[in-house]
Amino acid sequence: MTTEINDLTEMVESKDALIVKLRAEKAKLKINNKRRAEHGLVYESKAKNLVHTTTMVYEMACKLQKVSPAKVGSLEDFEESFEDYCRKQDERGNSSKNALNMDEENSETEEEDDGEGE
């Protein structure tokens, strides 16, 4: 009977030790989850600040280039509108280059015409 009592006592003690260990693990996980959540909030805050700053820069660049900026509500919107802006700038650059090339071609043909007339 004493051996059975001793066995039961050992089982209860091991069960209690396991419960203490599991509670400690649960507390540790809870602390880690809280830290991760706070860390995530920091990154979210930084991302919002970055979007705000880049939006301001984008709007200023649009004003300087006399292009109407698209409304920016999120990072994805900003990326889309910035890509739009870059495309428009490329088109403006290409049309300017084409105009310069046409001016150069016209001046060359005028020089050739002047040379033939003499």
Tracing tokens 């959540």 back to the chain, one arrives at: 37
CA distance readout (Å), 18 to 30, 103, 118: 18, 86, 108
C-alpha 59/C-alpha 51 separation (Å) is: 12
C-alpha 85/C-alpha 70 separation (Å) is: 9
Sort 61 into a burial class: Cβ within 10 Å, 0-12 / 13-18 / 19+.
Answer: middle
Residue spans per domain, the chain? 2-117
Q: Do 75 and 51 touch, CB atoms closer than 8 A? A: yes
Average pLDDT over residues 2-17: 84
| pLDDT at 18 exceeding the cut of 50 | yes
Predicted pLDDT at 118: 45
C-alpha 91/C-alpha 106 separation (Å) is: 22
Q: What is the pTM of this model?
A: 0.36
Task: For 29-51, write each residue's pLDDT tens digit.
Answer: 999 888 888 877 787 788 778 88
C-alpha 82/C-alpha 41 separation (Å) is: 26
